[in-house]
Chain A
């Protein structure tokens, strides 16, 4: 069972990466306009015609 000694911290580390990714997204304001984000993805104004 020695494998647990590094597998458990590894799993925790991966979880922490997810947590920090969420906190970063929150800080950069990605959750401030939930309805708008759903509609903006349909806009193609960044495509040069």
Chain B
């Protein structure tokens, strides 16, 4: 690399007046890597601190200002065989980390309080059936109150705050009945204790908080883990651009680009930002933007979009829009419309709580009134009514769905699917139509050599090794077939023509037909050729978009799951037809604009179908937003990924089918859990109404139902596949 890497955008001053940098490190596989990486980085001059977080694969380095050029850190990592990518933690991620610490503190406080109060309560329960004196019992109750009240005030804040927000917005959520139940249970116990009663509910209230907090903390931890992986992947993907600084070239992160910057785009690189071509002629592949696989010839004055792949020649361009502004107007308007018209399906948990809260509160009120009418004292009627509220406090109900979500998102994570939206699991399970984009979704994002096995293996190996010296996209496809990663010495690339080298004293040339001295045959649609000449022998290598390796099996699996499959592509019909035929998909559309795709999806929605859209291009972003649920591969355009409910990793298509299987299993567990919680209430409430519920029964019933629901949620994990 001739251009120096400028990392000043990422280096931040820390509290001790040093500069610090966070890097997402790729290639960390074992414990020995920790020592090797930290050891090597600490050797650098001025480095005060280097610490690798093995859990999220991030390296934190701090150094004395001015003592170290930050690009040296990345070079040091490269020398050790790792790739470091500068990384700025998103605001959302930092806020989530703070929230996680707050939740863990609440869990700790609630756990401490629950254990100590239970200790006192068990003594009271056994004392009540033996010879405990009233004074001792009062002392134990007051001790419980002393622990319970501050603990609830501290650990209950997440629920109280959320319930208050819901009430202020004139709606209700699961936290409203929880807060009412806990507050009333504590209040009543306090009054009962003051009146020397035999029973108090301090233990129930705190145990309820503890269980719910554990559920919430687990849910949060899972979300943070997937968020951290997604953040690393974003850092790994973040590209750099070669910016002119006077006559020199400086490599800067794409995030540092501003409108008006002049950039150099070499062959084989992606265009880093929208811009106007100033100099150079080339062909560019815009399949990530439009889905169109045929290349477009460009000349000075042409407009190019970020994400296009430069094929032939070096281009100089002036940035017109950088960073978040990178967007085609048409897609922007469509996206806004699709997002606002989207009526999000109401989440299962919200639906359940909306029915639940009024029913429970009405039952408690009727119980109180009923006992009053039956002639009980006001005190007894109130105690019974509150007992109904405590026994129905939606412990099981509040855990029923989050517990399944935690287990299912763990299973999805292992299947290489990263969730963006928490409720995506429910919507994935409901999908009955899958609409695929073609380019980059059903096919691999990069072109591959067609039928490499049919070519002369010896010649092919020489060609592939020679191709290692070129960054031209066709040569990159050929280089994938190489058995070694070591290029030939003295290979020379002639930009726009090809690459040549002396191999065992004979000249080998890889590139255009003219460069290799060969005649160019008539070209076939969808195929590109690259030529290889070695002495008198020659080879024409066909390169084309190819299907993902397991596309055919996965499509068959999806069909077996009862899904209706379609392809909607922006590419030409002659490119889409063979793919549809190979996969056995009869319903497909080609040459569609983003607006066409949305209207086709809307038609499906209107006849009551639930559409899962799988797509990667910028042209798919609006349809991803319009669909019931959406997936996109990790190679997708940034904007498209942001619209998708989940992102899948790797070359295989299997995660799409796995995601649906896991989501459907999770959905079954969710409804089982909801039914269980309902049944539990149906049995427990009559006892509470009749006044049979003691604190001991309440404690047993609540912990029993919470455990059952959690254990059932673990079944969403399923076997391997």
Asked if A47 is at the interface (CB within 8 A of a chain B CB), the reply is no
Could you tell me if A1 and B31 are in contact, using CB atoms closer than 8 angstroms?
Answer: no
Q: Contacts A1-B133, A33-B53 given: A19-B115 contact, CB under 8 Å?
A: no
Q: Which residue of A lies closest to B146 (CB)?
A: A12
Question: CA–CA, A26 to B101, complex, Å?
Answer: 8
Nearest CB of B to A36, in Å? 3
Asked if B55 is at the interface (CB within 8 A of a chain A CB), the reply is yes
Write out, one digit per residue, whether chain A residues 1-42 have a CB within 8 A of any chain B CB (1) or not (0): 100110011011001101100110011000111111001101
Asked if B136 is at the interface (CB within 8 A of a chain A CB), the reply is yes
Could you tell me if B55 and A40 are in contact, using CB atoms closer than 8 angstroms?
Answer: no
Write out, one digit per residue, whether chain B residues 125-159 have a CB within 8 A of any chain A CB (1) or not (0): 00000000100100110010001000000000000
Nearest CB of B to A32, in Å? 7
Nearest CB of A to B15, in Å? 15
Asked if B714 is at the interface (CB within 8 A of a chain A CB), the reply is no
A interface secondary structure, majority: helix
Asked if A48 is at the interface (CB within 8 A of a chain B CB), the reply is no
Asked if B316 is at the interface (CB within 8 A of a chain A CB), the reply is no
B109: A residues at CB distance < 8 A: 19
Could you tell me if A4 and B55 are in contact, using CB atoms closer than 8 angstroms?
Answer: no
Q: Which residue of B lies closest to A18 (CB)?
A: B112
B675: A residues at CB distance < 8 A: none
Question: CA–CA, A9 to B147, complex, Å?
Answer: 11
Nearest CB of A to B118, in Å? 12
B115: A residues at CB distance < 8 A: 15
Question: CA–CA, A33 to B52, complex, Å?
Answer: 9
Q: Contacts A1-B133, A23-B105, A43-B35 given: A36-B112 contact, CB under 8 Å?
A: no
Partner of B34, one of A26, A34, A39: A39
Q: Contacts A4-B136, A15-B116, A33-B53 given: A26-B104 contact, CB under 8 Å?
A: yes
Could you tell me if B101 and A45 are in contact, using CB atoms closer than 8 angstroms?
Answer: no
B53: A residues at CB distance < 8 A: 32-33, 36
Q: From residue 73 to 110 of chain B, which have CB atoms closer than 8 A to chain A?
A: 101, 104-105, 108-109
Asked if B39 is at the interface (CB within 8 A of a chain A CB), the reply is yes
Partner of B108, one of A9, A19, A32, A42: A19
B interface secondary structure, majority: helix
B139: A residues at CB distance < 8 A: 4-5, 8
Could you tell me if B31 and A42 are in contact, using CB atoms closer than 8 angstroms?
Answer: yes
Question: CA–CA, A43 to B30, complex, Å?
Answer: 12
Question: CA–CA, A40 to B115, complex, Å?
Answer: 33
Could you tell me if A12 and B104 are in contact, using CB atoms closer than 8 angstroms?
Answer: no
Interface-central residue, A4, A12, A35, A36, by most chain B CB under 10 Å: A36
Could you tell me if B52 and A36 are in contact, using CB atoms closer than 8 angstroms?
Answer: yes
Question: CA–CA, A3 to B7, complex, Å?
Answer: 67
A34: B residues at CB distance < 8 A: 55
B147: A residues at CB distance < 8 A: 12
Question: CA–CA, A43 to B52, complex, Å?
Answer: 14
Question: CA–CA, A19 to B398, complex, Å?
Answer: 26
CB<8 Å pairs between A and B, sample of 19? A4-B139, A5-B139, A8-B120, A8-B139, A8-B140, A8-B143, A9-B143, A12-B147, A15-B115, A15-B116, A18-B112, A23-B108, A26-B104, A31-B104, A32-B55, A33-B56, A34-B55, A39-B30, A39-B31
The 9 closest A-B pairs by CB, nearest first: A39-B31, A36-B54, A33-B53, A19-B112, A35-B55, A33-B55, A35-B54, A22-B108, A43-B35
Besides A26-B108, A35-B54, A43-B35, 19 more A-B contacts (Cβ < 8 Å) are A1-B133, A1-B136, A4-B136, A5-B139, A8-B120, A8-B139, A9-B143, A12-B116, A15-B115, A19-B108, A19-B112, A23-B108, A32-B55, A33-B53, A33-B56, A36-B53, A40-B31, A42-B31, A45-B39
